[in-house]
A and B are shown apart, each in its own frame.
Chain A
Amino acid sequence: MSRHRWELAVEMLIEWVIRLCGISAIIFVFGIFYFVFREGAGLLFSGRFSLAQFFTNIEWYPTSQSHVRYGGLALIVGTFSVTVLAMVIAVPFGLCAAIFVSEFCGPRLRETLKIIIELLAAIPSVVWGFVGLTLMNSVIISLFDTPIGLNVLNGGIILALMSVPIIVSIGEDALKAVPDTYREAALALGATRWQMVYRVLLPAAKNGLLAAVLLGVGRAVGETMAVLMATGHSVRIPTSALDPVRTLTATIAAELGESSVGSDHYQVLFIVGILLFSITFVVNLSADLIVRGIRGKA
């Protein structure tokens, strides 16, 4: 009898532990948002900081002795330009690779490719940054005859290489989710494989492919270490892909350690964090809603 009750108690305990693990993600997301917001909120509502200035001014002088200015526009443009360039490279490349892996290659090559692509996704970002700092830097210098190769182009290429594995693996899942009966229907009507892909599979998988792209974007916006090392870290609005820039993420990483806790500078970095968090949150949420949209219909 007592043994029975003991087992029941253990059962209950295990169930609660599992439940707690399950909902912990919600606690973490809201917890992080709360702490980041709390650290930045003091300055945000103090009157010494103007959101309008933050979004429109390009002068970022957080440590100036005479006149402190928190103009975040150059940083926003920096993040935006590197991300856009990365996506211009990564989206066509990643989607083509996903189509190849899912539809055109044999089963053995497919398995090999999938393993290698996952390996590529697992490379630490600092290693990518190192590749940007040394290899890409010298390649860009010799190809474009510029004095320095740490710029938008370098960061964009590195970020593209980092986003491609995500786009490929999620895009491949989306294509695999298209029922095989659609493929057979198209082929039996005399479609070539490429006609089958662009007339049937791409329209049928478009939501999943869009989600893959958005998750790639989310990765690119949030990436820090690699862009810190590859973009040249200079606050300015780039006029060409060969100009160095600085991103939102790199600014936080580079400056947070040097600002004193609770100072205005410290708090403005947290405001930058809130902005980043909001961007990635919106991007990921829309990707998720899109994926859910596919499941809902199917």
Chain B
Amino acid sequence: MNQPVEFSIQTKGLNLWYGNFQALRDVSLNVRHGLITSLIGPSGCGKTTLLRCFNRINERYGSVKTEGEIKVLEKNIYDSDISLIELRKAVGMVFQRPNPMPISIYENVVFGLRLHHERSELHKADLDVAVESALTEVGLWKNTKDRLKENALTLQLEQQQKLCIARLIPLKPEVILMDEPCSALDVDGTRAIEELMFRLKGRYTILIVTHNMAQARRVSDECVFMLLGELIEHLPTEELFSNPQNPKTADYIEGRFG
């Protein structure tokens, strides 16, 4: 791709059902490339469901039915020539609770490389470089360089979450999906992850689900408000908070429900 794409993720008329329950209703969304976009809305509004569509991890549950179009990096992710593995390499995900694997810090970072390459293709020196650059990028290198062989679960929660971001980097993703990445962290941990998001902005398109409206306002360039499975409003963040067009958005951000 020589021409920079304008939108990293596009959906058109997306409907999704869990069994008989419709969780997403006719969602059409364009997520701009290289920016941070936040998804806000009350519990059960479908924001996490929507996020989990973009790497098709929703499909773990047998009863999910999806209708409509989802394009990631201008390719329909349901096309038969798109491999799930390639999609998930391009679209990384950070979860609500930090979930490093119960293996060493080093192995966590190279986990993705080990998945996608034959053993003979991976050389120790290359792996070492990948680990150092990924951990440096998330600001963990200084604290962990002497303890790379230790189990990742010995890290503090905030560091674990940074490690979960670091392990995406060796796969060179274009998009990073974050599902309430700070909800298990304290104030300092939240600030550290938010600062990290600013550093990653531009190189990666970041889509973040958050319960915390103040966080959406702090970190995101654009903001999407959802309610009962529908996309109500999508505006630049400052505009959405200062001058919402839809009265439901106004009610929510002013705290009249939620």
Contact = CB atoms under 8 A, between A and B. Distances in A.
A187 interface: yes
A117 interface: no
B171 A187 contact: no
A271 to B, nearest CB: 45
Contacts, number: 62
Contacts of A191: 115
B102 A181 contact: no
Contacts of B84: 190
Nearest to B113: A189
Interface residues of A, number: 20
Interface string A154-194: 00000000000000000000000001011111111111100
A183 B111 CA distance: 13
A182 B57 contact: no
Interface in A86-108: 106-107
A110 to B, nearest CB: 11
A148 interface: no
A200 B100 CA distance: 11
Contact of A199 (B55, B87, B89, B111): B111
Interface string B20-61: 000000000000000000000000000000000001010010
Interface in A190-235: 190-192, 195, 199-200, 203-204
Nearest to B99: A181
B114 interface: yes
A185 B111 CA distance: 10
B116 interface: yes
B102 A189 contact: no
A247 to B, nearest CB: 40
B62 A182 contact: no
Contacts of B115: 186, 189-191, 195, 199
A115 B164 CA distance: 39
Interface string B88-119: 11001101010111110000000110111000
Contacts of A204: 101-102
Contacts of B164: 185
Contact of A184 (B99, B112, B167): B99
Contact of A189 (B62, B103, B112): B112
A193 to B, nearest CB: 10
Given A181-B97, A190-B89, A199 B114 contact: yes
B95 A181 contact: yes
A186 B101 contact: yes
A195 B88 CA distance: 14
B60 A184 contact: yes
Nearest to A187: B57
Nearest to A108: B62
Contacts of A187: 57, 60, 88
B57 A188 contact: yes
B106 to A, nearest CB: 14
A296 to B, nearest CB: 14
Nearest to B153: A297
9 contacts: A182-B101, A184-B99, A189-B88, A189-B112, A189-B167, A189-B168, A190-B89, A195-B115, A199-B115
Interface of A: 106-107, 179, 181-192, 195, 199-200, 203-204
Closest 9 CB pairs of A and B: A181-B99, A190-B88, A188-B93, A190-B85, A185-B99, A189-B112, A190-B89, A191-B115, A204-B102
